[in-house]
A = this chain, B = another copy of it.
Amino acid sequence: MGLIVQKFGGSSVADAQRIHHAAKRAIAARQAGNHVVVVVSAMGDATDQLVDLANQVCAYGQSNPTPPPKRELDQLLATGEQVTIALMAMAIHAQGHQSVSFTGGQIGLVTDDAFTKARIQSINIDRIFEELHAGKIVVVAGFQGVTADGDLTTLGRGGSNATLVALGAVLKADVCENYTDVDGIFTADPRLVKTARKIDRISYDEMLELSGLGASVLQTRAVEFAKKYNVPLHVRNSQNETEGTWIVAETPNMEHIVVSGAALKKDLIRVTIKNVPDRPGAAAMIFSDIAAANIVVDDIIQTVSDDNIADVSFTVEHGDLHDIKPVVERLLKELGGTPQARYRDDLAKVSVVGVGMRLHTGVARRMFQALADAKINIQNITTSEIKISCIIDKTDGARALAIVHDAFELGKAT
């Protein structure tokens, strides 16, 4: 008897009809002879509505409102998934099958106390197995947990996927099915590249790079967890029966494919600090100040010129120049010497990813040539073992993605 953990996101449980549709998928898996655990998100935009309500209460009558206390925000947001689990269990019951719902706390999903972005520490599987063995479909609230003190926590962006993969790991599931409103992971964003093709199988590492590059179906954290515990992930469409994309451990034959996918990150900001004294600790000073300001840095490029003076560039995603500028201006004073800052907020990043790069040569050349042929100027280049990224003008973004996608013939069946 297999064990399947299924996850349905907010749009797949947005109303009674969709909840029943998701319930049918769970029941079908049960009837196929599997134990089934279902993880659900809050209905539709329920979480956004709760955040609005919190902001409204915190702003009421205040000239200078402060954000909601995070513990109380989590206490509030956790209700979103709790509503869905109860309704999902009711829908399964209405369709004639046994079901029981659990909040994060009820299955002992213990996290640290980093409210609004807590990390899972442990899950008590006893109650889940007890109910599975009693023949029930177990429905679990995604995105939430409980501290050792019993305070409710939420797991941050993509938290329901973290719950999915964590449950898959502790229950030793045969597969974690992530139901979304797309058919799987594509070789590029199909809204930008018409010839984009669904990927059948992809390795954890490739998926990690693609997630980090803005392919938004799966968050990096969930993929990391799946890789760590070797849980196969199956991303598929809740509206059809098509096989989706399997995210699995790398196999030797995966390296035959040079490039698995391409991705575009829009709206990058690049900050360049010129004339940084090239002494130990300068880079550490820069990036610790930026981290302290809670700004997430994407790529870092450092060049050293002859006279022990470095230029340090970094990119920031979806950033706001207003947030970054004061930090950088303060840094300029701390660094000593005569450093100067330059800002660009009109950049994008196009990347290709594939484990086959390790074996195949000429991948970078092919990418640069394709961009050059299209008269697209490359501002910066960064690479990893299985990824090549080019920073380009934002206005070239969508075109560059299509060109790179074509250059590696990603639209053709493998």
Contacts and interface: CB of A to CB of B under 8 A. Distances in A.
Interface of A: 16-17, 19-20, 50, 53-54, 56-62, 65-66, 68-69, 71-73, 75-76, 78-79, 82-83, 85-87, 89-91, 93-94, 99-101, 103, 105-106, 150-152
Given A61-B20, A94-B58, A89 B66 contact: no
Contacts of A93: 58, 66, 68-69, 72
B90 A68 contact: yes
Closest 3 CB pairs of A and B: A76-B86, A79-B79, A75-B86
Given A59-B94, A66-B94, A72-B100, 13 more contacts: A50-B83, A53-B87, A54-B86, A57-B87, A61-B94, A65-B94, A69-B93, A72-B93, A72-B101, A75-B85, A79-B82, A106-B150, A106-B151
A60 B105 contact: no
B106 A62 contact: no
Contacts of A75: 82, 85-86, 89, 101, 103
Given A82-B75, A106-B150, A56 B16 contact: yes
A223 to B, nearest CB: 31
B100 A71 contact: yes
Nearest to A75: B86
A54 B103 CA distance: 17
Contact of A20 (B54, B57, B82, B99): B57
Contacts of A101: 72, 75
Nearest to A89: B72
B86 A73 contact: yes
Contacts of A54: 86-87, 90
Given A50-B83, A83-B79, A93-B72, A60 B106 contact: no
B106 A57 contact: no
Query: Which of A17, A65, A103: most chain B Cβ within 10 A?
Result: A103
Given A79-B79, A106-B150, A86 B72 contact: yes
Contact of A72 (B19, B73, B90, B151): B90
B57 A19 contact: yes
A165 B100 CA distance: 32
A321 B10 CA distance: 44
Nearest to A87: B57
A38 to B, nearest CB: 13
Contact of A58 (B50, B66, B68, B90): B90
A106 B20 CA distance: 32
Contacts of A83: 50, 53, 76, 79
B60 A89 contact: no
Query: Which of A79, A90, A93, A99: most chain B Cβ within 10 A?
Result: A90
A72 B106 CA distance: 13
A134 to B, nearest CB: 14
A93 B57 CA distance: 10
